[in-house]
């Protein structure tokens, strides 16, 4: 994992996020994150900006690994990644400290995937109120507005760790049927990916008073989308009542919808703001590149 846009805009926050997302992806299948390796791709460290990017990124990786208890077992460094035009102008790459993380799950048969499993399953969202969510530095700004600006969201690593522990326990207890982190592109993209992978739809209801673009496409918040089988609703409610982590005001958890047959539908305060066929989403997902050739 690595969001090079975030690292370019803030090397420390971007590198923390790369470690956190790698751990989050492992937790979303039920595995405990245990160690990382890295591939540090940077421009020349012989100028002030290149040196600052490399040093600050390493500080961010260190901070995240200490909090998440995932030691660095090794890695490699690739420097001087730059191009030069005929006039001698040098263009450096965006700093990209790629994180590879390994996890452990005692019973691989309990591992789960991102796609929805059954119609009528409940869809939930968990996240951190202390971790920031923002449209700044987001894919939405880059791809729809043509802007690479803003500061990546700050991650509360203590909340991140608690949320991941909660998700892993729910998976290992057999209560969580599917699970996917909210990362590049925000909540709408994460939900759409779950639909494409399962060929199932959703009926999502958002009640926050935020702007619609912020609700759909803001990034950050240490958020995870997951589903609960309808026939395990009572067990799930008992599980929630027994989890002390949910007494933490910094962490929120809420039901946001249910799995349906084929439509990708999102409502905001009872107004439909998105209604697409899953076949349309799947075509875009599978053929976005090939349609240009």
| DSSP 8-state symbol, 115 | S
Cα 126-128-131 angle, rounded to 5 deg: 145
Q: How far apart are the first and last CA of the chain?
A: 28
C-alpha 251/C-alpha 278 separation (Å) is 31
Q: Determine contact, residues 64/15, Cβ cutoff 8 Å.
A: yes
**pLDDT for res 70:** 98
10-residue averages of pLDDT along the chain (293 residues): 96 98 98 98 96 98 98 96 92 96 96 98 97 96 94 97 96 97 97 97 94 96 97 94 82 96 94 94 87 74
**pLDDT for res 249:** 86
C-alpha 70/C-alpha 197 separation (Å) is 29
**pLDDT for res 289:** 81
- Look at residue 243 and give its three-state secondary structure: coil
Q: Around 93, how many Cα atoms within 13 Å sit in the side-chain half-sphere?
A: 16
- Look at residue 179 and give its three-state secondary structure: strand
**pLDDT for res 235:** 96
What digits encode the pLDDT tens for the residues 112-160? 999 999 999 999 999 999 999 999 999 999 999 999 999 999 999 999 9
What digits encode the pLDDT tens for the residues 204-229? 999 988 899 999 999 999 999 999 99
**pLDDT for res 290:** 79
- Number of residues in the chain: 293
DSSP string, 12-65: HHHHHHHHHHHHHHHHTTTPEEEEEEEEEE-S-TTSHHHHHHHHHHHHHHHHHH
C-alpha 67/C-alpha 34 separation (Å) is 12
């Amino acid at each position: 994992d690595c969001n090079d846009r975030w690292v370019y805009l803030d090397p420390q926050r971007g590198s923390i996020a790369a470690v956190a997302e790698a751990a989050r992806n492992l937790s979303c299948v039920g595995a405990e994150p245990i160690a990382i390796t890295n591939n540090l791709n940077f421009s020349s460290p012989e100028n002030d900006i290149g040196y600052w990017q490399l040093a600050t990124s390493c500080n961010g990786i260190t901070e995240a690994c200490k909090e998440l208890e995932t030691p660095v077992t090794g890695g490699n460094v690739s420097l001087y990644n730059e191009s030069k035009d005929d006039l001698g102008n040098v263009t450096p790459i965006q700093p990209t400290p790629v994180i590879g993380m390994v996890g452990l799950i005692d019973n691989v048969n309990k591992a789960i995937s991102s796609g929805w499993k059954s119609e009528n399953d409940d869809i939930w969202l968990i996240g951190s109120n202390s971790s920031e969510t923002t449209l700044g530095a987001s894919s939405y700004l880059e791809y729809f507005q043509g802007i690479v600006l803003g500061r990546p969201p700050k991650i509360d690593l203590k909340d991140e760790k608690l949320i991941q522990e909660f998700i892993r326990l729910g998976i290992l207890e057999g209560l969580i049927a599917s699970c996917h982190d909210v990362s590049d592109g925000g909540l709408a993209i994460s939900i759409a990916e779950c639909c494409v992978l399962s060929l199932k739809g959703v009926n999502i209801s958002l009640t926050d008073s935020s702007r619609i673009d912020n609700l759909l496409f803001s990034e950050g918040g240490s958020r995870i989308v997951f589903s609960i089988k309808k026939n395990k609703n009572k067990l799930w409610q008992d599980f929630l009542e027994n989890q002390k982590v949910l007494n933490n005001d910094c962490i929120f958890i809420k039901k946001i919808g249910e799995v349906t047959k084929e439509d990708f539908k999102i409502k905001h305060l009872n107004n439909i703001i998105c209604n697409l066929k899953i076949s349309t989403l799947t075509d875009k997902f599978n053929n976005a590149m090939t349609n240009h050739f």
